Structure 1
Amino acid sequence: MPAAGFTGASLLLVADLVARHVLPTELPTGVVTGAVGAPYLLWLLATANRAGSGG
């Protein structure tokens, strides 16, 4: 459980740093997090569907 909390906190910290300092315009952190999370979710759904365990 501590590893999951550390991973989530690290993801949000990196997304916040990218949203504030890396991109040319400042964006909300949720936009950056969604831009990373949405493709990952689609990949998880696709692999689960191929394995026959998702839908």
Structure 2
Amino acid sequence: MPHVARLMIGHDHRHLLPASALLGASYLCLVDTLARSATATEVPLGVLTAVIGAPFAAMLLQRRRQREAMA
């Protein structure tokens, strides 16, 4: 979530830190609700956050590599 907050807010840490905290808390509440209601058995939060977060992290890495290749 800090990366999402940085994309939304910018690099100013006075605003970035509270935004990261709020986005992280909201994200975990959403994922927890989803994990409890998706199936009859609870899906571990770590699994669900990894399934959602890994593609996002890969996208950020790919963007960074493309920017570095252009420079």
Pairwise same-fold verdict (TM > 0.5): yes
Q: Could you tell me how far apart the structure 1 residues matched to 2:58 and 2:23 are?
A: 20
- TM superposition shift of 1:47: 0.4
Q: How large is the RMSD of aligned CA atoms in angstroms?
A: 1.4
Q: Give aligned-pair identity as a percent.
A: 38
Query: Highest relative contact order (Cα 8 Å, sep 6+), 1 or 2?
Result: 1
Query: Segments of 4+ in structure 1 off by > 2 A?
Result: 22-25
Normalized per residue, which structure has more helix? 2
The total of aligned residue pairs comes to: 53
Structure 1 segments unaligned to the other structure (5+ residues): none
Match of 2:45 in 1: 29
Which residue of the partner structure matches residue 58 of structure 2?
42
Structure with greater Cα Rg: 2
TM-score (normalised: structure 1): 0.85
